[in-house]
Structure formats: structure tokens, C-alpha cells
Chain A
């Protein structure tokens, strides 16, 4: 079952408009323009599609809220600021099937009543930027963008906008600030972007992967989509397998696939012996071998005590020290915190100090309780998802590999010889 990668997986498929048209490209747009926005909304709601960026918010509702907002103009924004470590699915789509995204955004513009769309793309995605720009130009030449699209009354433009290296801009409100030419710092919600987004106007903001599901839903209907995968969050998902796995890559699979099948059947198994898995990147809680039967949909992963997020499935084998890896995770957040709110800015620094001390043999048992407390405070009080989830991986390391931490603290020993324990190498 391929929805998002239906074209990409075909042999000889190229990112140009001719390839796309041969595969039935822009047929969904043609159909959409012949129906009404209400009908499209109804199909998307029926599909039960939820946001693929990580928050899993129902897409139909998001579009409906924006459509019903009275403020004008309205905007469509695509979040292509893929930055969660272990996530590389959007790059894949942007580079290989840009017209699928463009078609989806035009349909969104038609549905909510917007004239302008923006693609906020990661600064480091140079190649994807060039490919997208070319695709936007091609769409313009073919009257798929611009004034009176395909002879209709509807006009729509798409603008490309480059980020400049800030993980936090993947958070929707930080992205909007960045799109407005400012530092990418999160805003207080509410108001949500559906009411006050870009330029404080109603804005639909969706992830690349969410958008590219739309054309197929328009063509085949919401009912059809809702029957695929797990009933709670139907459809397929792009799973990004990385780390200690034999066949790292992007896999599109129905959401009822188990973690075990994902790793064994599609990833060809673990390199070495499995120690832990982060199912949703470094912002998620660790799972271990006892969780392998979990289904890879949002609610099942949540019930297992973690989160699917953007489905950055990072596999970790037993050659790695968890104290060391916890330190690497927190280093990332320390570098990427925007510094706007105190719990995130200060909490991460303290957590990093504590973990550094433990890795240098200067830790105390009471530090572990402190880490747990920090995680709880940051989860409750940080402004955005970055701070709220920054210590998830660390605290789950602690919970599931308590023995390793204890050994580092009490015996001043790293069994795997990875942490320096105060000695200079």
C-alpha cells in the first residue's frame, strides 16, 4: 500500500512535471476545482487523517477552523523544516516528488480560501530547494499556479522560504515568527495559527507528509483512506529507520505495522543485539525489547509510554552506554533551545551539567531524582514542545537503565569504557 510514495517507488520516476502528469498528477486538483470546498473538507474529515509532523492533530478540523475564521487574507504554510534527529522523510518527498506537495497545497488554498502559500524549507536542504523552485516554476507555466488556475476563478501562488539552521523552527509558532523574518521563538498558544498565524492571519500549517496524503484522499475518498492501517490514526506513515539497523531508510507502511516487523522485515534486523529504540526521535521515550509488539500508530505508542512524533525510529544496540547517549541527547537540546522561556533554557543546562558529572564519575545518587524532577517541571511549564519533551529520552534512559547510571555513580565505572569517568584519554 503506497499513498505518499506511490510515484517515487515507480521505476524511472523523475521529479519533473511530465513524470507527475503521466502518473495522473493534478487530477485531484482538477476534481477539487469542480467540487466545493465543503465537499473536500467533508472527505478529509471522513479520512481521519491526522498531522504527520508529530502532534497528530486532525487535519480536517485544522482546515475547517481556518476556513471558518472571518479574518482575511488566509494563508497555507508547509512545514518543511525537517530537523528532528532521525527524520529524513520530507527531504525524500521534496527531492523526488515536489509536484505532489504543490498539488496538495493548491487544494488546501482552494478549500480554506487562501491566495498565498509558503513552503518553509530547512536551510541546509539546498538540493530540495532547487528542485522545488523548478517545480513551482513548471506549475506556473502550466497554469497550475498563478491567476485563474486551469480556467477557474481560483488564483494561488506558492513562495519558497529558507530557514537558516534552527531546530526550534520546526515548532509551528516558531516557524511562523521565522517566516516573518524574526528569530524563531515560540509564541504562546492560544491563539492557534488557525486563527492567528502568519501575519496574525488564519493559517493552515501542515507538515510535508500530511499535505501529500491529500490528493489521493480527494481522488479516492475519505472512507477509503480511513480503512487503511490502525482505525485510531488511519493511513500509512513514513517510518524513518536509522541507527544500528541493517537497512536504514524511509518505509511507507500502514500504521498498524508492529515495531518488530518494521525493524526485522523492513530494516533487515538489528546490527548486533537490540538494546533500545527511540520511536519518535530524541524527543521520545525509549522503548526496549519488551515493547517490540507495539503497533506503530500514535495511540498505541502512547500507551506503551512513548510517542510516535515524526516516526524517527532510532535503533540502539548494546555496544552503547546509556549515560553517554543521554548526554548526547541533552547536548542537542542545549544547542537548539531558543532561550525564550526559563524552564527550557535553564532546565536543559542543569540536566547537561548533571549528566556530564555522572559521565566523569562525579555524580551522586540524589542527582537522579533531580533529573526526574527537572523533567517533570520542564514538561509542565515549558512554552513549546521542545522544552516539554527535551528530557523525555534522558528520563526514560534513567528509568529503563537505572543500573547503568547507578554503576557510574557508585562504582565510578563505565562498563563499556565509553564515558571518560574523569580520566583524560
Chain B
């Protein structure tokens, strides 16, 4: 999404808020989703538009795990590492995905296609061990099944 188009989206969101600062999270969500990360440009723009110090915007961005300052892959693979999934072998799922993509946790592949994000409970404990690839949910996985899922995504051009 171009910055111009983003600015229009932000204006639309702001029109629904009487106190501009309250709109920060919704504005950040859109940028994160559409651009894959929060650029310096976006942060400066939001600080100005919402009347916040830039450092305040940065502190909010870095507080929440769904926002990132570095470009994330086209597909963010969220792997639950909380206890219920851990009991069902999420450690091996994480290893399998790392092996398949040849990167470490929290890293992005060189082609910017995949990012591995170990995350806290996703509320999928009845399907443990579970992962999410963007919005799609996969549960009850074996390490091999996890690898196969990633292989399928690799085929998408």
C-alpha cells in the first residue's frame, strides 16, 4: 500500500475517534498488515497526525508482539510454545519449521517470504500442537506435517 493511500485510511479511522490518541492501535494494525512492518515514515506520520511524541509511538510499537520494526515475511508462521502445546510436542514443531526454512526463530527468510514467530498461547489448545500461518490455523501436527504445510506455502508464487 502506498503512503498516500495509507494516509487516507488513517483519516478515515480518525474520523471515528473523538480523542485521536485512542486510534493508535487500529492505525498501527493496518500498516503492519498492509506493509509487513512499521517504517520510520509511518511512525513519524502517525506521531504528527495523532499529536503524540514519536517516542510514544515507538514504545507502543515495541510493546506489542504483533507489531514489528523490521520487514516481516509475506507469511508469518506463529508457533505456539505455551505449556499445552509444549506438552504435545511444540518444541519439535518449532525445530522442524526452522529446519525446513533454514532460519532461526524470529528471523525472516532472505526472499522475505517467511517469518518464524514463536508465540504465547493462541487459544488452540484443543488442537495442540498448533500453528498459524497468517490467518490460517493448523492443529494436531507432527513435525513432518508441519514441514509439509510449509512446503505447500513455498509453492505459492
| Alpha-carbon gap, A320 to B88, bound state (A) | 11
Asked if A85 and B29 sit within 8 Å, CB to CB, the answer is: no
| Alpha-carbon gap, A180 to B137, bound state (A) | 30
Asked if A164 and B84 sit within 8 Å, CB to CB, the answer is: no
B 93-137 binary contact with A (CB < 8 Å = 1; else 0) = 000000000000000000000000001111111111000100101
| Alpha-carbon gap, A86 to B121, bound state (A) | 7
Number of B residues near A (Cβ < 8 Å) is: 38
Looking across the interface, which residue of chain B has its beta carbon closest to that of A90?
Answer: B123
B26 at the interface (CB under 8 A from A): yes
Asked if B132 and A124 sit within 8 Å, CB to CB, the answer is: yes
Q: What's the nearest-Cβ distance from chain A to residue B122, in Å?
A: 6
A402 at the interface (CB under 8 A from B): no
Known: A88-B124, A249-B126. A242 touches B84 (CB 8 A): yes
Given A325-B86, A328-B81, 18 other A-B contacts at CB below 8 A? A85-B83, A85-B84, A86-B83, A86-B121, A124-B66, A161-B26, A162-B26, A165-B64, A165-B67, A165-B119, A166-B64, A180-B22, A181-B23, A181-B24, A181-B60, A182-B21, A241-B126, A316-B87
A291 at the interface (CB under 8 A from B): no
B44 at the interface (CB under 8 A from A): no
Known: A164-B28, A181-B60. A328 touches B83 (CB 8 A): yes
Asked if B128 and A83 sit within 8 Å, CB to CB, the answer is: no
Q: What's the nearest-Cβ distance from chain B to residue A5, in Å?
A: 14
Asked if A335 and B125 sit within 8 Å, CB to CB, the answer is: no
| Alpha-carbon gap, A233 to B144, bound state (A) | 45
Max chain A Cβ within 10 angstroms of own Cβ: one of B22, B124, B137? B22
Within the complex, which residue of B59, B63, B137 is in contact with A166, where a contact is CB–CB below 8 Å? Answer: B63
14 A-B residue pairings within 8 Å (CB atoms): A85-B83, A86-B84, A123-B64, A127-B137, A164-B29, A165-B66, A166-B64, A166-B65, A181-B22, A240-B126, A242-B126, A243-B128, A282-B83, A332-B120
A314 at the interface (CB under 8 A from B): yes
A125 at the interface (CB under 8 A from B): yes
Asked if A314 and B123 sit within 8 Å, CB to CB, the answer is: no
B69 at the interface (CB under 8 A from A): no
What residues on B are CB-neighbors of A375 within 8 Å? none
9 shortest A-B CB distances, which residue pairs?
A: A165-B65, A164-B64, A242-B125, A85-B82, A165-B66, A85-B121, A181-B24, A242-B84, A88-B123
What residues on A are CB-neighbors of B86 within 8 Å? 325, 328
Number of A residues near B (Cβ < 8 Å) is: 52
Q: What's the nearest-Cβ distance from chain B to residue A401, in Å?
A: 15
| Alpha-carbon gap, A398 to B32, bound state (A) | 42
Asked if B121 and A87 sit within 8 Å, CB to CB, the answer is: yes
| Alpha-carbon gap, A243 to B26, bound state (A) | 34
Asked if B21 and A125 sit within 8 Å, CB to CB, the answer is: no
What residues on A are CB-neighbors of B21 within 8 Å? 180-182
Name B's A-contacting residues (CB within 8 A). 19, 21-26, 28-29, 50, 59-60, 63-67, 78, 81-84, 86-88, 119-128, 132, 135, 137
Asked if B26 and A83 sit within 8 Å, CB to CB, the answer is: no
Looking across the interface, which residue of chain A has its beta carbon closest to that of B86?
Answer: A328
Asked if B120 and A167 sit within 8 Å, CB to CB, the answer is: yes
Q: What's the nearest-Cβ distance from chain A to residue B55, in Å?
A: 12
What residues on B are CB-neighbors of A335 within 8 Å? 120
What residues on B are CB-neighbors of A62 within 8 Å? none
Known: A88-B123, A124-B66. A314 touches B60 (CB 8 A): no
Looking across the interface, which residue of chain B has its beta carbon closest to that of A126?
Answer: B135
A383 at the interface (CB under 8 A from B): no
Asked if B23 and A88 sit within 8 Å, CB to CB, the answer is: no
Q: What's the nearest-Cβ distance from chain B to residue A98, in Å?
A: 16
Known: A162-B29, A166-B65, A183-B60. A314 touches B83 (CB 8 A): yes
A110-124 residues with Cβ-Cβ distance < 8 A to B are 122-124
| Alpha-carbon gap, A331 to B118, bound state (A) | 12
What residues on B are CB-neighbors of A325 within 8 Å? 83, 86
| Alpha-carbon gap, A249 to B124, bound state (A) | 10
| Alpha-carbon gap, A312 to B82, bound state (A) | 13
Q: What's the nearest-Cβ distance from chain A to residue B147, in Å?
A: 20
Asked if A82 and B123 sit within 8 Å, CB to CB, the answer is: yes
Asked if B123 and A181 sit within 8 Å, CB to CB, the answer is: no
A237 at the interface (CB under 8 A from B): no
Known: A86-B83, A86-B84, A124-B66. A248 touches B126 (CB 8 A): yes
A172 at the interface (CB under 8 A from B): no
